[in-house]
Homo-oligomer: A and B are copies of this chain.
Amino acid sequence: MKIAVIGLGYWGPNLTRNISTVPEVDLAAMCDMDESRLDVQARLYPGAKATNSLSEVLEDPAIDAVAIATPVSTHFELAKQSLLAGKHVLVEKPLATTVIEAEELVRLAAKTGLTLMVDHVFIYSPAVQKLAQLHREMAFGDLRFIDSVRINLGLVQQDVNVIWDLAPHDLSIFDYVLGRGPRSVLTAARVGPGAELATLAHLHLDYGDGLIASVHVNWLSPVKIRHLLIGGSRRSALYNDLDTSEPVKLYDRGVDMAEGAEGRRQVFVSYRAGDVLSPKIEKVEPLRNLIKHFASCAETGSTPLSDGWSGLRMVQALEAADRSLEKGGVFVEIPDA
């Protein structure tokens, strides 16, 4: 399968590097407006066509698929043109800037029968796949809470707030592990001074069944923290993406609560404190897994894990999060996709 990479800014070079080394795909072309970026990549991958002309890529019948890594505001237009040109499409997250655009892309992919996949890269990491497997096997019991902290001194961006920049990682992990999107979201955030857009935010997402998941994203933190806690009635897990030796820990610890005969007021509590297990996690670059999965889905027509629908659910949640922020922090409902 021949892939063209569109956009060679921050993320594009990761795509070209991985595409060039995955045997199932060929890096056929690279496209960017910026000549200097194009030059750097052209020197690294002399076998791929380097061009600043999008139409040259889309009109090339030898190219089967495009990977779009341009600014968010251009995702919709580029993905749409690519699908219309008959290319399978991999888009950097988030899929689009509005629900309406995301819906149109999903429809277009369905109509053309082409593969539309979103670059929710974390769900292709062995650690997150292990969490999802544990949840499928009921290792956690009933989920009591999910709490994710993703903070560091980040690149403050001027066209997108911290929610659209960082929270997609957490939302895509939740979506994949839980197999569903949130019903409503509440945002508590800090906006400026000196920056119009939110630079830190807490999201609280209601997933139904009493499960509330929280996300703290922050560009202003002096320390880097990547903690995702899953609290269950049977076991709990901590996924620390910065712990290279033990990224996932499974705790056989918990509080058991049981109602008494007279109802909720009378609660019996017991505590468990057992072993901690750090399962072996393969060291594979998630983006490499993702590209293999994209190639396989495009060839066989099977549905990607991070298909257009998951991209749409993500944009719905992000839009709702922004709306909650505008309303001063209230739960905003998210319609079914």
A153 touches B220 (CB 8 A): no
Expressed in whole angstroms, the minimum distance between the Cβ of A213 and any Cβ of chain B is 10
Q: Is the CB of B153 within 8 A of A255?
A: yes
Interface residue stretch chosen among A83-91, A174-182, A284-292, A327-335: A327-335
Interface string of A132-164 (1 = CB under 8 A from B): 000000000000110101010100101000000
Binds B, one of A8-16, A107-115, A262-270: A262-270
Interface assignment of A337: CB less than 8 Å from any CB of chain B: no
User: Hey, which chain B residues are within 8 Å of A151, CB to CB?
Assistant: 229
Among candidates B191, B279, B330, residue contacting A275 with C-beta atoms closer than 8 Å: B279
The residue of chain B having its C-beta at the shortest distance from the C-beta of A194 within the complex is B257
**Distance in Å: Cβ of A115 to nearest Cβ of chain B:** 28
Residues of B within 8 A of A280 (CB): 252, 273-275
Q: Which residues of B contact A271 (CB under 8 A)?
A: 153
A277 to B251, CA, bound (A): 10
Contacts of A249 in B (CB 8 A): 223
User: Which of A47, A158, A249, A269 has the most chain B CB atoms closer than 10 A to its own CB?
Assistant: A269
| A81 within 8 Å of B (CB atoms) | no
Q: How many of these chains are in the complex? A: 4
Distance in angstroms between the alpha carbons of A321 and B324 in the assembled complex: 19
User: When chains A and B are docked, how far (Å) is the Cα of A43 from the Cα of B26?
Assistant: 14
B192 to A153, Cβ gap below 8 A? no
Cβ B204 vs Cβ A222 within 8 A: no
Q: Does A219 contact B (CB under 8 A)?
A: yes
Q: Which of B158, B222, B259 contacts A236 (CB 8 A)?
A: B222
Name A211's closest neighbour in chain B (CB-CB).
B190
Q: Are B204's CB and A188's CB within 8 A? A: yes
- Nearest CB on B from A275, distance (A): 5
Q: Are B277 and A275 in contact (CB under 8 A)?
A: yes
The prevalent SS among residues of A at the interface is strand
Spot the interface stretch: A54-62, A64-72, A118-126, A195-203.
Answer: A195-203
Task: Give how many A residues have a beta carbon under 8 Å from the other chain's beta carbons.
Answer: 73
Contact B156 A255 (CB under 8 A): yes
Task: Assess whether A202 is in contact with B204, with CB atoms less than 8 Å apart.
Answer: yes
30 A/B residue pairs, CB under 8 Å, sorted by A: A43-B47, A147-B216, A147-B218, A153-B271, A153-B273, A156-B257, A156-B267, A156-B269, A186-B186, A188-B202, A188-B212, A190-B210, A194-B258, A194-B259, A196-B265, A202-B214, A204-B329, A218-B231, A220-B254, A221-B236, A222-B229, A222-B251, A222-B253, A223-B251, A224-B245, A252-B280, A276-B277, A277-B277, A277-B278, A278-B278
Which residues in A have some Cβ–Cβ distance to B below 8 Å? 43-44, 46-47, 144-145, 147, 149, 151, 153, 156, 158, 186, 188-196, 199-200, 202, 204, 210, 212, 214, 216, 218-225, 227, 229, 231, 236-238, 245-246, 249, 251-255, 257-259, 264-267, 269, 271, 273-280, 328-331
